[in-house]
Chain A
Amino acid sequence: MRSEVFYIITGMALVTYFTRFGALALFRFTGVPTWLNRWLKYVPVAILTSLIVPSLLLPKGYLDISLNNHYLIAGIVAAFVAYKSRNIIATLGLGMSIMFVLKLL
């Protein structure tokens, strides 16, 4: 194993464990402060959005809003399927199939 990957895995493991055990150790007598609770509440939406949207709009590093951008087209369809079905397998299956077909065309 490469040493930089080893450090990354160790670091990720440590900070993940900190977030899972930290609250138990830290807040077990006081509860989570209100301001932190408010801020943390919207972290999942914010971080998922900032991962998804650029990867669909700038798949090659530049803004590409056109029919040639397969990621954007498959992403719009996948978002619709995810909204309707809430199902990982359906969304992944249909999204990947569209990617596959667009690559062949």
Chain B
Amino acid sequence: MQLSNLISGKNELAEEVWVALRECTPVVLGVVPFGITCGIMGLTAKMSGVETILMSVFVFAGASQFIGITMLGAGMTGWGIIILTTLLVNLRHLIMGSSLAPYMIRLPFPFQAFLAFFLTDEAYALTITRIHKDRYSVLYQLTVSTVLYLVWVLATVAGVVLGSYISDPLTWGLDFAMPATFLVLLIPLLADRISLIVFGMAAVVSVFAALYLPGKWYIIIACLIASLIGGLLEGDSENA
């Protein structure tokens, strides 16, 4: 009796891990080219291979790593603006964290702190989908998080290795990989009127700011103005 309970309990756990692995496979395959690009871009920006890989190990945030690397490559070694931009880019995780909070709150506090490190867009999307389909499963979140993390770090290593064989990646236009990858992230977001307005505002403001302001301030200025307008429009349409 006890033994069979134990076995069926183990089977349930194994089943949960299996479902998690199956469901995260397509997402993980999508992460690989980003990780490889990240590795190549690191070398392009004159970072060492070790620096590029350590960034993936400790930061583990695709978009902000691309931005940080791009800024470093542009000769911006002032760490304040890079860290401020990273903060702005990752502010969206506050929303994801608060949407998972009702479920994760039951976990032991140190374990919440541990899982939070791995809360990427992808891990969030998979975990919240699992909640809507079935229920919250900490084992599911843990499996998805671990796989995404390992693949991200290994793909970065692969990119660093590949990049070292390409003598000067810039002459081949490899820096185009950054806007191209962001396009794939951006276009599905442009699904409603307000998002399109925010897109238009950010495009106009960023180009003008890039022409007239020093450094990479155009990113922060355009982001603040355009997202604020989006928030105000959202408020208006809710009140109407």
Contact = CB atoms under 8 A, between A and B. Distances in A.
> Are the chains A and B members of one assembly?
yes
A95 to B, nearest CB: 4
A20 B119 contact: yes
Given A11-B82, A16-B61, A45-B190, A38 B231 contact: yes
Interface of B: 30, 33-34, 37, 47-48, 50-51, 54-55, 58-61, 63-65, 67-68, 70, 72, 77, 79, 82-83, 86-98, 100-102, 104-105, 112-113, 116-117, 119, 171-174, 176-190, 194-195, 198-199, 201-203, 205-207, 210-211, 218-219, 222-232, 234-235
A103 B171 contact: yes
B8 to A, nearest CB: 32
A19 B101 contact: no
B138 to A, nearest CB: 14
- Which of B34, B172, B203, B225 is the most central at the interface, judged by chain A CB atoms within 10 Å of its CB? B203
B183 A45 contact: no
A51 B176 contact: no
B98 A15 contact: no
A2 B72 CA distance: 12
Contacts of A35: 231, 235
Contacts, number: 283
Given A39-B231, A40-B91, A89-B33, A45 B179 contact: no
- Which of A8, A24, A47, A62 is the most central at the interface, judged by chain B CB atoms within 10 Å of its CB? A47
A17 B116 contact: yes
Interface residues of A, number: 71
A57 B40 CA distance: 23
B177 A96 contact: yes
Contacts of B79: 4, 7-8, 11
Contacts of A99: 172-173, 176
B83 A75 contact: no
Contacts of B72: 5, 8
Contacts of A55: 178-179
A8 B85 CA distance: 11
B231 A9 contact: no
Given A16-B86, A75-B180, A43 B207 contact: no
